[in-house]
Amino acid sequence: MADRFRSTQGLIDALADASFDRPPALVSNAHVTGLGVARALDAHDVPVIALDRAAGDGTEPVTHDGLAPPSEAVDFAGAVTYPLDDLDGFREDVEAIVDAAGTEAVAFGCMDEWALAYAEADPAGVRLPYSGIDTIDDVLNKSRLYATCEELGIPYPETHRLGGGSDGDAGDTGGIDEDALEEAADALGFPLVVKPARKREFEEAFGTNVLTVADREEFEEVVASAAAEGVEVMAQKRVDVATGRDHSLASYVPPSGVDDALAVVGNAAVRYPLQFGTSCLVETADEPVIEERALAVLDDAGYHGISEAEFVYDADREEFLLLDVNTRPWKWISLPVAAGANLPMAAYAAVTDAAYEPAVTESSEPNRWVYLRDYLSLLAGDDAFWDQLSGDDWRRLVAGSFEREGDLTTGVYRPTDPGPAAKLFETAFLDREYYCSC
């Protein structure tokens, strides 16, 4: 277990005294998703170095509220320059860390900016278990993704591209296409959804990755603000989403292609908040159309690596619509691992000498993943919500026996690895909030 979250130099000094019998994994960010990846790799004795940005200036003492560093699965944890602030500084930090470790390392970017940064910065000594920057951008960029859907005949929400950003249709000035804005407003009506082509820059500017606007004035204000930030945006029809029917394909596609993909479909049965929130109860599902459509998009892009392709069910059109493809691990990455498809380990093995054989088995009961903090908030809230866990589930959770038996796993809480849950309790009542729930 990492004894603390260190400054960059403190981490370099600590690694200089360490030795590794195989390439360590560099896991960024160091929060819920990074914790899931670390646990998946640790199950196969892969050493993990958790990297993230620090609060303050990154010098000792370092403040960091992410949940991965106190995990038994993390060997070392420390700060690096945040890549959206300074990509060259990020590269220099990672190269110094790898040099101190005395061996090459394998990068796992657990949020868009980290996955893109490892690919774009291309630090010396770092192996990427996923496609390069051009391929990733083709998949992550929603305007390009939806163009691919159009070509392949894969349903997606009605979308109008508005321009903005360095590669917007309005030119290299970052301007907004006024004619496109007018056309979108007339075609979609209000309320409508404004989304970025690449969500992380939008999140940094607006604090969210999607905005619903109620009228023309609000629409113009949001689009103008996005243009000022240099963020390419689009307008999208608000989908009448069937609650509880969101599905995603969790997959690892090896360099040999989608025919050899390791894949599990997950149904986000419960979100917090209920309608459009983040997943808090996900279960495996049998939906062949989800797998078929997601793999077709990945195949067309030539993408290899871990990804999550997100679909919602449109009650009006009575079909699944592709919303997004995340070319990296995500919050419930532990679910496919529990189902026998350890996607992080498969990715690690593909770029190292390690061996991995999946153990996916047919079962009449779905595997389930729960993020207890949000799930308990739903149960305690004012909205009507019927508990979807059984009495036996709760007994196994309290006793800790869910780790050894049954079909339920968790996002953070695990009695055999108590540090992250304890950290969650410690930080839950502070006045600061970690910069991402993932």
Yes or no: domain 5-130 corresponds to CATH 3.40.50.20: yes
Residue with tokens 């509880």: 244
Class of domain 246-327+332-370+372-410: alpha beta
Q: What is the 3-state secondary structure (H, E, C) of 275-300?
A: CCCEEEEEEECCCHHHHHHHHHHHHH
- The dihedral through the CA atoms of 433, 82, 27, 344 has a sign that is positive
- Coil, helix or strand at residue 321: strand
| Segment 329-362, tens digit of pLDDT | 999 999 999 999 999 999 999 999 999 999 877 7
Side-chain half-sphere CA neighbours of 426 within 13 A: 11
Residues 65-92 have pLDDT tens digits of 899 999 999 999 999 999 999 999 999 9
What does the alpha-carbon distance between residue 119 and residue 126 come to, in Å, rounded to a whole number? 10
- Confidence class for position 170, pLDDT limits 50, 70, 90: very low
CA angle 323, 326, 332 (to 5 degrees): 100
Q: What's the distance, Cα to Cα, between the start and end of the chain in Å?
A: 21
Query: Can you give the pLDDT at residue 389?
Result: 97
Closest CA to 223 of 297, 161, 274: 161
Residue 167 has pLDDT above 50, yes or no: no
User: Global pTM?
Assistant: 0.92
pLDDT per residue over 247-294, tens digit each? 999 999 999 999 999 999 999 999 998 877 899 999 999 999 999 999
What are the sequence ranges of the domains in the chain?
5-130, 158-236, 246-327+332-370+372-410
198 in Cβ contact with 144 (< 8 Å): no
CATH pick for 158-236 out of 1.20.1290.10, 3.40.50.10860, 3.30.1490.20, 2.60.40.420: 3.30.1490.20
pLDDT-derived band at 137 (thresholds 50, 70, 90) equals confident
H/E stretch holding 348: helix 343-350
Look at residue 202 in the predicted model and tell me its pLDDT: 84
